[in-house]
Structures are given as structure tokens and as C-alpha cells.
Amino acid sequence: MKTTYDKALALARDGNDLQAAALLDGLLLQAPNLPEIHYQRARIAARLGDQDKRLSAIDRAVALRPSEQAILTEAIAAHSAAGNHETVLSLYDKQIALDPKAIKPQAEKALYLQTAGQFDESEKLLRKLQKKHPYDAELYRMLATTIRIKPNDPMIGAMRRLANHPRLSATGRMHINFALAKAMEDTKNTSKVFPHLRLANKAQADLWPDDPEVRKAERDGVLKAQDGLRPLQDAKGTDPALIFVTGLPRSGTTLVEQIIASHSRVHAGGEMATALRCAYASFGTGADMRPLAEEPSEHFKAFIGLLGRANVPFVDQTKPCLTDKSIMAFMIYGLLHATLPNARFIVVHRDPRDIALSIYKNHFKGGTHRYANDLATIAEVIKAFRQVISHWRDTLPDRFAEVRYEDLVSDPELQSRRVIEAAGLEWEDECLNFHEKGGTVKTLSLHQVRQPIYKSSTAAWRRYETEMQPFIDAWGDTPWD
């Protein structure tokens, strides 16, 4: 039996999930009470998009071995994907009960509560953790991100003391200064915001240095590889049809995706990141991408199949459309246009100064968006994005729609109707009530998308015009819109 089990795992590692699943199903008849088999069946079912099998298998694994952290983690992922909110919370509680002193499972529960829109419950848990672990800087940043800090909040004093601690690590310095910058902004101490942001971004840059040349080589190589590419004659696209919502970080893509995903025919995939990953796997990575016009049609068909399989974990089988708001998908619009005739493309623009300010104010997952720590570099990245979009505008006329964030917040209904039309859908009034939809939202904008569209985030850069001068200087004579 062990030989068969090992063979199933080897097949899964090699991407042969169907064969692996068949072997594990057979093993289950011989050993129905081995939690490892149920656990592996759940993981493979997730990749195959079999949600029912994933849930039943992982639930059985939990029942057989409720004290296994890996099993509980997989169960949390499975029930989160299924939207089983109460089950997810009970699973987090099981994890926490195994080691009540561990910070990680409690912090992850707090983050989950935030994504589910339960901000009060998340705040209570994070404040409780802060009292127990006053030197964990990340806890302060996690809380500061989703609450409005009041001037008399004792957390401010605690953060200041921690910021001056002689043994604070570089990671701690990053987290606590991002949190203090948010606190200073919330309490109207705007003159103190950028001093903390500079310290936070300096620490972040030291941890994850930027390499502009690598970024430029990737962009140039990918665009050049798509020169002369023609649509695949017999391509049918993916099922469900994809709606790509792209733009720079903090440009309003989450808002646009939520409007579209409020439609009865659409499921929100979020930042799936499958399209670029599958493109690189199929045709070469970054600067090494092969000239696509020279590729045989079989390779494009294989790419479509690979993309379809990669999207399966994000799919709701009852919805014929799936949104993808992966930031970098705009890089391969030529390839996506050629291979996915049923796809839609929507580009979101925003005032570059507001984008730059918001990028500079926010912490991104370690190693991502490495340019975000320098205002002048952010200017170059935004200009490069605009050049790529201009290229596609000239190359693929009428294939994608563009929307401005400022227009959307000033006239929500008119612009929302334009967005829904661009997505190839009939208008539904629910698309204006996206903030009431519920569900989880995994993005830095998770608090904003729980509210109706508001205008206060437009022209926010004016409060920091002096501090934004490095960005303005680097922008030069380029038009703002």
C-alpha cells in the first residue's frame, strides 16, 4: 500500500493529478481511516476543481486527526474557498487551542476576520494579541491598516516605544513605521506621516532591494515576444470566460472587480496570477520569452488548456464568467487576445500622484513590488505601465476598455454601466450595491470595498505635495492624464 501511496504522490508532483486521484481513491477502499489519504485527496481535488470532493475529503481527515496542523490548514483553505465562514472560524479555533501561546494562528484568524468584513471582531483579537505580545511590530501594522486610529488611542504610545526599542529588527522597523504613519494620518498629524514612511520604506528596501534593469528587461522581452502575433483561428477561449481587470496597485482595480463580480453571472477570482504564470511556463520566462509569432498552434492550445486547469480552483461552476485582477496580466494582452476570443479586458487608470502616494504608504508582501520604496522609481514604473497600455491601444484597437477611477467615483452609476457593458454583460442594479455583497476580499482595499463608492480618496496627494516632490520631479513633463 505504501508503494501505491508514494506513486500517487509522485504522480501529483509531476502534474498527473487525475492518475494520482484514481490511485488514492483505490487506496481509500483498503484503508478508509488513514487521514493522510484523505488529506492528499483533498489537495488534489482542489487542483482539479472538485470542490465537493475537496470538502468531504478534508473534513474526514480532520475528523480522523484533529490535532494535525497541516490538515487544519488545508481545511481552512478549503472552507475559505467555499465561503463556509463559521466552519473556517471553528477551524482556526481548533488550531489556536493546540497552542494557545502561538501568535501565528491567532493573527491569521484576525486577518481572515478582516477579509470577511468583521472588522470589530478582528480589532478585538488583534488588541488582545498586542497586550500579550507588545514587541511584535507586525500586529500593530495589521490593526492600523483597517481601523481609524483616534488621538487618545494607547496603541500610539506603545508603537512609539517599540519604534525606539534598541533591538528592533529591520522587519520590525518596517512594520511599526508603516503603522505609525497611518496613525499620524488618522490623527491629522500630517507633518509626521512622511518621516515614518521614509523609515518604513528604507527598511523594506534593505530587506528586498529593487533591480530596475531586471524589471525593464522582463517588460521589454515579453512585449517583443508578442510582436506580429495573430489570433489563433480555432481558439474557443476558457470556460468560464475571463474578464481581466488590470491596472497598477492602488489604482482602483479592486473596486472595478467588485462592481463586475456583483453581477449574477460573474464570480470574483481576485489576483489569481495564473495567466502570466502559464504564459511563462509555456513560452519562456520574462526576457527569455520566445517569439510567439513563430510558435506552432499546438503550443497555444496547450497554453489555453494549462490556463483553464490553473483557474479551476477559483471557479464557481454556477457562474459563466470569472474575473482576474492580477496586476501583471496587462503584460501579455497580445497573447491573451490571440488565444482567448471570449475574454474581456478592462484597464483602470487613476491620477499618478494618488497612485504613487498610496503605493508608498502601503506595505506589500515581502519581495513583491520592490519599486514601491522610492518615489522617483514609482514614477518610472507608472510611466512604463502607461507606455505598455498605449502600445496595446495601438495594437489591439477596440479590444479592451479603459476606465478612470476619478470618473467612477464622481459618477458611479454611469461609469459602472460602462464597466458592465465592457465586461460583455447586461446591466443589473445589484452592481451598484457591491459593498453589500459579503464574502471575503483579499486585498489592501478590503476595508474600502465594504463601503459605497466615496470621493475622499481623490486628490489625496495634495496634502503631501511637498513630500511628493521627488515623484513630481521624476514625472517631469509627462501629462498627468
CA distance 436 to 413: 16
Instruction: Let me know: does 277 contact 310? Beta carbons within 8 Å.
Output: yes
**Which residue, 152, 174, 207, sits at the end of a domain?**
207
pLDDT tens per residue across span 212-264: 999 999 999 999 999 999 999 999 999 999 999 999 999 999 999 999 999 99
Q: Indicate whether 117 belongs to any domain.
A: yes
pLDDT tens per residue across span 417-467: 999 999 999 999 999 987 665 555 545 444 454 455 555 667 899 999 999
Q: Indicate whether 387 belongs to any domain.
A: yes
**Which residue, 179, 207, 235, sits at the end of a domain?**
207
- What cell was used for 293? 509569432
Are 244 and 168 found together in one domain? no
Q: Provide the residue type at 438 as one letter.
A: G
The two beta strands, 321-324 and 241-246, are: parallel
Q: Indicate whether 78 belongs to any domain.
A: no
Are 419 and 361 found together in one domain? yes
Number of domains present in the structure of the chain: 2
Range of the domain at 396: 213-475
Vertex 439: Cα angle to 40 and 155 (nearest 5): 100
The number of helices, as runs of H, and strands, as runs of E, in the chain is 22, 5
CA distance 243 to 346: 8
CA distance 462 to 164: 30
Q: Indicate whether 268 belongs to any domain.
A: yes
Are 177 and 265 found together in one domain? no
CATH number assigned to the domain comprising residue 178? 1.25.40
C-alpha of 104 from chain center: 20
Vertex 422: Cα angle to 420 and 423 (nearest 5): 65
- Grid coordinates 483533498 are at which residue? 42
DSSP code, position 444:
T
Q: Is 117 left (phi over 0), alpha (psi -120 to 50) or beta?
A: left
pLDDT value of residue 334 = 96
pLDDT tens per residue across span 178-206: 999 999 999 999 999 999 999 999 999 99
pLDDT tens per residue across span 314-351: 888 899 999 999 989 999 999 999 999 999 999 999 99
Asked whether residue 151 carries a pLDDT value surpassing 70, the answer given is yes
User: Rounded to two decimals, what is the model's pTM?
Assistant: 0.87
Are 222 and 184 found together in one domain? no
Instruction: Let me know: does 256 contact 419? Beta carbons within 8 Å.
Output: yes
- What cell was used for 291? 517569439
DSSP H stretches of helix in 284-404: 297-311, 333-339, 352-361, 375-395
Are 162 and 306 found together in one domain? no
Are 362 and 449 found together in one domain? yes
**Which residue, 144, 173, 207, sits at the end of a domain?**
207
Q: Which of these, 172, 171, 192, lies nearest to 181 by C-alpha position?
A: 192
Are 294 and 376 found together in one domain? yes
State the DSSP string of 235-259: ----SSEEEEEE--TTSSHHHHHHH
- What cell was used for 72? 487544519
pLDDT value of residue 444 = 46
Question: What is the chain's mean pLDDT, rounded?
Answer: 92
pLDDT tens per residue across span 24-60: 999 999 999 999 999 999 999 988 878 889 999 999 9
Residues 6+ apart with CB under 8 A from 157: none
Are 245 and 374 found together in one domain? yes
